[in-house]
């Protein structure tokens, strides 16, 4: 099994996904252990002084003015975890919880939090044992970090609350720790606060969304090419010299991907051979690289923000190399929240243009010779009429999900925390948007491949033939009389989501970007 070694200088997106989705094991580097011990020494020295230090010997948030005596500090740390573990609603997905725990461990190991090495090791042990704290949908405002979600994770480290075992069963966390030989942690000064104060949940969801969207954007280039082919459109608009004079990087990549898929097609270029020849294709076909390309450029910006955050130590207060322990605002989720919202916007637009191409394929007045709704016997058969309804419903929800969460703020903590990011909410709705986008692309794939097969007498591009063959081998049937469509659509969604569409065409096209 792959092992991820956590050091002091952050982590990578690949490591986050390996831990969250593939169950990679975690080890702490010697450098990290040394940095943890050094920072803890600074916190212990400050805790011994009579002067109050925020997070070490005071209360928190609006209660920071109270100086806490030494005999109450362990209780203070336990209490902050218990009181902040106040989430409600459905359980958050296992991969999200693993990502947020791993990312909190990443910051703890930076040497800027003052947490003892044994606490960090317990965090790694819990992840390695496959124990997943029960975290709820609601409870984070994305400022002072993802407080409630992280608190539920810290509660598990203390042996309290509920967690899911490696067998998928939810049980008391103390029982699961004992079964795996893990001793619950006894929190000391600052440690409870350090386990809660981070953007780890929203960052973990951003990292996974970026990986999923990269795959979906390539898949969308493929289905856009298939639709162009099925509509007998022209691939001349994909010429690299046209995109060079508007040099947005993503636009050029999308056009190149579509060109690679269409190479050798016998269907493209027939748009001027009809009774009513077209001068040019509709926007949803002709402008596919411009829309998908702009989205790709937004992905690149979001990836830059994620990489910066992955290299960050997010806590309050932080231990600085010169020994100071300083309060700060680095926990604010605005940088992450904004790009999470940006991604929901571009995903909605990509879904919208894909749906327009599907609708065009089904309309006999605009499909240039295809049967109505791609039906076998139109009137007796309804074909893909309601598949497009489903796609349209998904697009409509995507538009609602594109409304930014980060434009909202709701004051909390007696107005001490009077401006929050809502980044967790932005991340949660983005996960739904990503899943919906996969379904939308799957419907376009289903329609475009059927339409190509109905163009009898014309030879599709080799890459198109490979995509169709792989889709049919995956159990998604081709043209014919009406049948129960939901299983076909679900299989097409799985085909897209698992990257099988890309795997089918790349042996013909070469690597797509």
Active-site pick, 54, 138, 217, 283:
54
Cis ω before 317 (30° cut-off from 0):
yes
Phi, psi of 454 (to 5 degrees): -80, -10
Strands 3-6 and 25-28: parallel
Phi, psi of 227 (to 5 degrees): -65, -40
Chain position carrying tokens 């290299």 = 311
Element (H, E) at 6: strand 3-6
429: left (phi over 0), alpha (psi -120 to 50) or beta: alpha
Contact call for residues 210 and 295 (beta carbons, < 8 A): no
The two structure tokens encoding residue 280? 């040019």
- Look at residues 43, 53, 180 and name the one whose alpha carbon lies nearest to residue 117: 43
Taking the C-alpha atoms of residue 365 and residue 362, their distance in angstroms, rounded to an integer, is 9
How many residues appear in the chain?
Answer: 513
* CA 278 to each of CA 154, 230, 231, 267: distance values in angstroms, whole numbers, following the listed order: 63, 15, 11, 15
Contact call for residues 92 and 148 (beta carbons, < 8 A): no
DSSP annotation of 366? T
Taking the C-alpha atoms of residue 20 and residue 98, their distance in angstroms, rounded to an integer, is 5
What contacts 88, CB < 8 A, 6 or more positions away?
Answer: 136, 137, 138, 139
Taking the C-alpha atoms of residue 3 and residue 483, their distance in angstroms, rounded to an integer, is 47
User: How many other C-beta atoms can be found within 10 angstroms of the C-beta atom of residue 273?
Assistant: 10
Taking the C-alpha atoms of residue 341 and residue 39, their distance in angstroms, rounded to an integer, is 36
Taking the C-alpha atoms of residue 56 and residue 70, their distance in angstroms, rounded to an integer, is 10
What contacts 270, CB < 8 A, 6 or more positions away?
Answer: 232, 368, 458
Taking the C-alpha atoms of residue 410 and residue 419, their distance in angstroms, rounded to an integer, is 7
Active site residue 217: no
The 170-172 sheet, strands edge to edge: 132-133, 162-164, 170-172
Element (H, E) at 319: strand 318-319
Taking the C-alpha atoms of residue 11 and residue 28, their distance in angstroms, rounded to an integer, is 12
Distance, C-alpha 195 to centroid of its chain: 23
Contact call for residues 385 and 249 (beta carbons, < 8 A): no
The catalytic site residues sit at 54
């Amino acid at each position: 099994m792959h092992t991820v070694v956590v050091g002091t200088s952050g982590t990578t997106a690949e490591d986050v996904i390996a831990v969250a989705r593939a169950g990679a094991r975690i080890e702490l580097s010697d450098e990290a252990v040394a940095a943890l011990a050094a920072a803890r020494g600074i916190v212990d020295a400050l805790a011994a002084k009579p002067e109050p230090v925020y997070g070490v010997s005071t209360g928190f948030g609006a209660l920071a003015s109270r100086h806490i005596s030494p005999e109450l500090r362990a209780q203070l740390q336990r209490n902050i975890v218990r009181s902040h573990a106040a989430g409600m609603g459905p359980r958050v997905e296992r991969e999200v919880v693993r990502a947020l725990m791993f990312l909190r461990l990443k910051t703890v190991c930076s040497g800027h939090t003052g947490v003892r090495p044994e606490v960090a090791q317990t965090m790694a042990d819990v992840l390695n044992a496959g124990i997943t704290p029960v975290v709820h949908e609601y409870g984070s405002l994305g400022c002072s970090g993802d407080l409630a979600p992280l608190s539920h994770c810290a509660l598990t480290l203390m042996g309290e609350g509920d967690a899911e075992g490696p067998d998928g069963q939810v049980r008391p966390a103390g029982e699961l720790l004992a079964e795996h030989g893990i001793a619950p942690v006894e929190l000391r000064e600052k440690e409870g606060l350090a386990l809660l104060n981070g953007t780890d949940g929203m960052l973990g969801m951003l990292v996974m969304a970026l990986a999923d969207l990269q795959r979906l954007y390539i898949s969308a280039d493929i289905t856009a090419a298939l639709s162009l082919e099925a509509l007998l459109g022209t691939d001349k608009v994909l010429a690299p010299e046209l995109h060079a004079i508007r040099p947005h990087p993503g636009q050029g990549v999308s056009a190149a991907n579509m060109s690679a898929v269409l190479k050798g097609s016998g269907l493209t270029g027939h748009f001027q051979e009809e009774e009513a020849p077209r001068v040019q294709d509709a926007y949803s076909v002709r402008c596919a690289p411009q829309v998908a390309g702009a989205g790709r450029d937004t992905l690149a910006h979001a990836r830059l923000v994620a990489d910066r955050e992955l290299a960050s130590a997010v806590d309050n207060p932080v231990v600085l190399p010169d020994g100071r322990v300083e309060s700060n605002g680095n926990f604010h989720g605005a940088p992450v929240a904004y790009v999470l919202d940006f991604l929901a916007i571009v995903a909605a637009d990509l879904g919208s243009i894909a749906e327009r191409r599907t609708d065009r394929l089904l309309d006999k007045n605009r499909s240039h010779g295809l049967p109505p709704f791609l039906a076998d016997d139109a009137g007796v058969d309804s074909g893909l009429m309601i598949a497009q309804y489903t796609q349209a419903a998904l697009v409509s929800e995507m538009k609602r999900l594109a409304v930014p969460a980060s434009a909202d703020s709701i004051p909390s903590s007696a107005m001490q925390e009077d401006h929050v990011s809502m980044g967790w909410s932005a991340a949660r709705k983005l996960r739904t948007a990503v899943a919906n986008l996969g379904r939308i692309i799957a419907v376009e794939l289903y329609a475009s491949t059927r339409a190509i097969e109905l163009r009898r007498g014309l030879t599709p591009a080799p890459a198109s033939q490979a995509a169709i063959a792989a889709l049919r081998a995956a159990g998604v049937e081709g043209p014919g009389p009406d049948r129960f469509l939901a299983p076909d659509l679900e299989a097409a969604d799985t085909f897209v989501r698992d990257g099988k569409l890309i795997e089918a065409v790349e042996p013909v096209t070469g690597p797509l970007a």
